[in-house]
Structure 1
Amino acid sequence: MKVPFNIDLKDKVAVVTGGGGVLCKAFAEALASCGAKVAILDLNEEAAKKVAEDIKKDGGTAIGVAANVLKIESLEAARKIIEEKFGTCDILINGAGGNHPKGTTTKEYFETGDLDVKELTTFFDLDPEGIQFVFNLNFIGTLLPTQVFGKDMVNKKSAGIVNVSSMNAFAPLTKIPAYSGAKAAISNFTQWLAVHFSRTGIRVNAIAPGFFETNQNAKLLRDEEGNYTPRADKIISQTPMGRFGTPEELLGTLLWLVDDGASGFVNGTVIPVDGGFAAYSGV
């Protein structure tokens, strides 16, 4: 991938968690295109290594490393590998996250008769373990990598952390209370970290993507024939630009945030990239 931005990240070491996914793969490729040495971390080692191989074929420098963002010993092992091959971390992208069916309701609106319908998952049926999984994956899965890789970033010149929040953090979507709450926690945590690290040289910001088609939401947005589902049509009707975003449309914001020369006084921000979804009242 060649990005149309004049950002120089030569000799920087970037770590991207969740790097095997659609959006974070694009992040990793963009960072490598700007000269960074990129470590792609993912629970799926094969996916991580595939992204790294694609980057290397394009002339970049990358490695794929298996890592579980919920286990600090796994992250420490990944950190050791990265330090041996590339050096210590300068840029951390906390991209690992996601939702779970057990943290999701069947319907958008609860009605009194729903209590007697066994086929439905109502608010009252939400599984605490499912809720916990979503909060852990998104919040703890951001906190632990920051603890592990953040130590190497203290007092470095131009060190930066970019978390991945969501437009759900601005206004919760129906049916997904766990994911919406977890992403709101990420936005708050981003601000907290920015203040906490502000005397160390580490800047902390977040991107809040709107709706992008990924492997994770494919079944929610398209039916078996590839057509948009009613929920996808509803999303697009509430997005002023009238479409889903593409991963490439996140890259300008990402690279701006990690480049100290371009955004050196930007700290503690959560930037929506959502086609105007959060700004639209629906009328």
Structure 2
Amino acid sequence: MVNINLQNRVAVVTGAGGTLCSEMARALAQQEIKVALIGRDMNKLVQVEEQIKAEGGTAISVSADVSDQQKVEEAQVLIKKELGICSILINGAGGNQPDAITTINEFEEQELDDGSADFRGFFNLDMEKFKSVIEVNTMGTVISSFVFGKDMARTKQGCIINIASMNSYRPLSRVAAYGIAKAGIANFTQWLAAYLAPANIRVNAIAPGFFLNERSKKLLLTPEGYSSRGANIIQHTPMGRFGEATELIGCMNWLINDEAAGFVTGTVIPIDGGFLASSGV
């Protein structure tokens, strides 16, 4: 089934209050696609909603934890009533937590003690926070696909875009929980694409390289410039800079277009300034 008319379609964007997904939501609305914004921080969602409406678009904000199936199902009922059946799903909810991130790159004897807020090795991470990072990134994508994918399967059309990461391709230092989750997103994208192909639902993932948001600015920048980690990333990025949220939009627009990308499913597409292409040597 070919469908290049994006008007009157409904998109659901999870994590829509964040830097990347808010940009994607605005770009969808600019194409006369009705957008449902899902996230936990209603204040951030409403800001995006107001921006969309100010530009003549249609959007609603729905507060929900995507790792909670009941909350996502309640959101789905509301969205269907207010906007219609979802045919585009952007699974962008996720992120990391400081207590699940080590402050060192390799084992040190000090971590066998209790550790502190300023020093975290693998052996003194908070395992509950570690688990929650995996749940919100991985199960948040699975549950949203499970809930909104049912209507797509009934109508025999739809497009799901998951948000992967550089961690989907290789483990990065310090962020083990996030890496586990994003590696799982890549695998789940391929599995779901093969599974839903008979229902005419395409499933792909976009893997952003290093883009700045409120959280990453604290890790990658200093008042003087780059932190040591930020400088290391730039050194390994051939284009020599961080990405801009608007630079994801071209790939998203291609993937949601049933004519331009009608034979594209099960892919994980890096938008990374050449990071994966560079060995650092």
TM-score w.r.t. the length of structure 1 is 0.93
How far apart are 1:227 and its partner, in Å? 2.7
Give the partner amino acid of 2:40.
L
Can you give the 5+ residue segments of structure 1 that lack an aligned partner in the other structure?
1-6
* Structure 2 partner of 1:209: 208
* Structure 1 partner of 2:256: 258
C-alpha distance 117-148 of structure 1, shift in aligned 2 (>3 A): closer
How far apart are 1:110 and its partner, in Å? 2.1
Secondary structure in 2 aligned to 1:138? helix
User: 2 CA distance for matches of 1:114 and 1:191?
Assistant: 37
* Structure 2 partner of 1:88: 85
- Aligned: 1:49 with 2:46: yes
C-alpha distance 237-195 of structure 1, shift in aligned 2 (>3 A): same
* Structure 2 partner of 1:147: 146
How far apart are 1:114 and its partner, in Å? 5.4
* Structure 2 partner of 1:277: 275
Give the partner amino acid of 2:36.
A
- Aligned: 1:65 with 2:74: no
* Structure 1 partner of 2:172: 173
Q: Do the aligned residues in 2 keep the contact of 1:50 with 1:64 (CA within 8 Å)?
A: no
2:9 to 4, 8, 12: 12
User: 2 CA distance for matches of 1:96 and 1:47?
Assistant: 13
* Structure 2 partner of 1:34: 31
Q: Do the aligned residues in 2 keep the contact of 1:158 with 1:260 (CA within 8 Å)?
A: no
Q: Do the aligned residues in 1 keep the contact of 2:67 with 2:135 (CA within 8 Å)?
A: yes
* Structure 2 partner of 1:103: 100
Give the partner amino acid of 2:64.
A
Equivalent positions of 1:183-222 (< 5 A) are 183-222=182-221
User: 2 CA distance for matches of 1:118 and 1:12?
Assistant: 51
How far apart are 1:127 and its partner, in Å? 2.3
* Structure 2 partner of 1:129: 128
Q: Do the aligned residues in 2 keep the contact of 1:9 with 1:31 (CA within 8 Å)?
A: no
Q: Do the aligned residues in 1 keep the contact of 2:163 with 2:205 (CA within 8 Å)?
A: yes
How far apart are 1:216 and its partner, in Å? 2.2
Deviations 1:232-282 (A, max 9, x none): 111101100000000000001111111111101001000000001011000
Q: Do the aligned residues in 1 keep the contact of 2:156 with 2:199 (CA within 8 Å)?
A: no
Worse-matched range after superposition: 121-130 or 190-199? 121-130
User: 2 CA distance for matches of 1:83 and 1:116?
Assistant: 52
Worse-matched range after superposition: 206-215 or 104-113? 104-113
User: 2 CA distance for matches of 1:69 and 1:110?
Assistant: 34
Give the partner amino acid of 1:132.
K
TM-score w.r.t. the length of structure 2 is 0.94
Can you give the 5+ residue segments of structure 2 that lack an aligned partner in the other structure?
none
User: 1 CA distance for matches of 2:59 and 2:123?
Assistant: 46
Give the partner amino acid of 1:231.
R
Give the partner amino acid of 2:181.
A
User: 1 CA distance for matches of 2:243 and 2:161?
Assistant: 19
Q: Do the aligned residues in 2 keep the contact of 1:156 with 1:201 (CA within 8 Å)?
A: no
User: 1 CA distance for matches of 2:47 and 2:185?
Assistant: 28
The total of aligned residue pairs comes to 276
How far apart are 1:102 and its partner, in Å? 2.2
Secondary structure in 1 aligned to 2:225? coil
How far apart are 1:158 and its partner, in Å? 4.1
* Structure 2 partner of 1:75: 72
1:239 to 237, 240, 244: 237
Secondary structure in 1 aligned to 2:60? strand
How far apart are 1:91 and its partner, in Å? 0.4
Give the partner amino acid of 2:256.
V
Deviations 1:141-172 (A, max 9, x none): 11111111111111435410000010111111
User: 2 CA distance for matches of 1:104 and 1:253?
Assistant: 30
Q: Do the aligned residues in 1 keep the contact of 2:108 with 2:121 (CA within 8 Å)?
A: no
Q: Do the aligned residues in 1 keep the contact of 2:162 with 2:204 (CA within 8 Å)?
A: yes
User: 1 CA distance for matches of 2:115 and 2:12?
Assistant: 45
